[in-house]
Structure 1
Amino acid sequence: MSQTMLELLLRSLWETVLMTAASGLISLLFGLPLGLALVATDRGGIACNRWVNSLLGAVVNGFRSVPFIILLVALIPLTRLIVGTSIGTWAAIVPLSIAATPYYARIAEVSLREVDRGLIEAVRAMGGGRWAIIREVLVPEALPGIVAGFTVTLVTLVGASAMAGAIGAGGLGDLAIRYGYQRFETAVMVAVVAVLIVLVCGIQWVGDRMVARLDRRA
């Protein structure tokens, strides 16, 4: 592989990491509260409201049901409105974040539902309110699952960012398409696949180590 191609590979790797990290952070900031809201407003929740729960569930399911490649195209007007362009790394962060947020919300919801209700009732018995339950019980007890789910979300975002390369988002996907596929440079394709494998394995390894440290049952 030439020096120029190596530089392109490193730049593409940085763009992929940037897209994954930025959209992952946004999905965490919005997805976790959304997951908490789904659990809290459900039947028997700490803020039971079936109408709100149904509405939130419908929105989450609606976005999750749309294939990412279609969502990329459908969100082009919104992407232009937010970042001023529909191509490039920063433009790809918008649809990646919107796709990842409901996905992570459902994963977080599953972890939050597994929290022992006896602990919630104990906090209630001591006079704790909704925020005390969320702060002292729900999030701490579900934290290993929340982190594990976030790791899965990041891995999914790596694949989605590569798919976004098909419409000019940059990153490793764009490099593989423009040079590996369209120019029939097998070495580039192999290099991109190898880097993606290492990147995904690295994210998974870090996530597994964090979960192991947080898991009180270990």
Structure 2
Amino acid sequence: MIDYIMQYQSEIWQAIGETFVMVAISIVAAILVGLPVGTVLFLCRKGQLYENRVVFGTLNIVVNVVRSFPFLLLVVFLIPFTRFVVGTALGTLAASIPLAVMAIAYYSRLVEQSLLEVPRGVIEAATSMGASTIQLITKFLYVEARSGLMLGMTTSTISFISYSTVMGIVGGGGIGDFAIRYGYQRFETELMVVTIIIMIILVQTIQYTGSLISRMLDKR
């Protein structure tokens, strides 16, 4: 196995780098877009401070539709959009587009669930003190839900890694693509084992780190 690792070490490192690029872009999309979308879903749902059936219903349907798509079909469905955004439907950057779309929908739902766990009294206290909407969100809701938001991001990141393994269909590369091309198609079982071990180590590291940070943020 060590001989195989030494023989394919450059390809392995390239695959790991491609996975990191795709996952990193997904995380950024989840934070910059998914977090606000999840917040709006929470604030506009029935019984909340800014209840709005139209806004909530529209966003809720969009999020549910995207999350309901089998990811492989979503990748194919978004090829025209991907080509429009980055000019090509092939490569690591192009593969990041459908992954980012899924990341936004996936994390926004987890954000909504985390905010639903914030005690109603926190919102009432914020409004009674005259907090603006931005202050309510950033200084009260996010602060109270920070542990859950971190756990949600940890879970999302692990899911993004899992989704990235099928991006070889559009030439996205990554660990999954390496395992298929070099391990499965060439019948190199040892390489399959190596990639599985790499994935296990990566996922366990992320889970441990995310859980640790979440416990540190939880002041209850």
Q: TM-score, normalised by structure 2?
A: 0.95
The structure 1 residue matched to 2:42, chosen from 39, 42, 55, is 39
8 Å contact kept, 1:166–1:177: no
Cα 1:2–1:202 change in 2 (3 A) is closer
Unaligned runs of 5+ in 2: none
CA positional deviation for 1:21: 1.2
Question: 2:213 matched to which residue of 1?
Answer: 210
8 Å contact kept, 2:43–2:50: yes
- Find out whether 1:112 has 2:115 as its counterpart: yes
- Which amino acid is 1:180 matched to? G
CA positional deviation for 1:11: 0.9
- How many equivalent pairs are there? 217
Query: Deviations 1:95-141 (Å, cap 9, x if unpaired)?
Result: 00001111100011000011011111111112223222112211110
- Other structure's SS at 1:216 match: coil
Q: Which moved more, 1:126-135 or 1:111-120?
A: 126-135
- Which amino acid is 1:143 matched to? R
CA distance in 1, matches of 2:110, 2:56: 16
Runs of 4+ in structure 1 over 3 Å off: none
CA distance in 1, matches of 2:90, 2:205: 28
- Other structure's SS at 2:8 match: helix
| Within-5 A mapping of 1:32-181 | 32-181=35-184
Cα 1:79–1:4 change in 2 (3 A) is farther
- Which amino acid is 2:184 matched to? Y
8 Å contact kept, 2:95–2:170: no
Q: TM-score, normalised by structure 1?
A: 0.96
Question: 1:194 matched to which residue of 2?
Answer: 197
Question: 2:186 matched to which residue of 1?
Answer: 183
CA positional deviation for 1:194: 0.6
Identity in percent: 42
CA distance in 2, matches of 1:164, 1:83: 16
- Find out whether 1:29 has 2:21 as its counterpart: no
CA root-mean-square deviation: 1.1
CA distance in 1, matches of 2:5, 2:55: 57
Unaligned runs of 5+ in 1: none
- Which amino acid is 1:48 matched to? E
- Which amino acid is 1:88 matched to? G
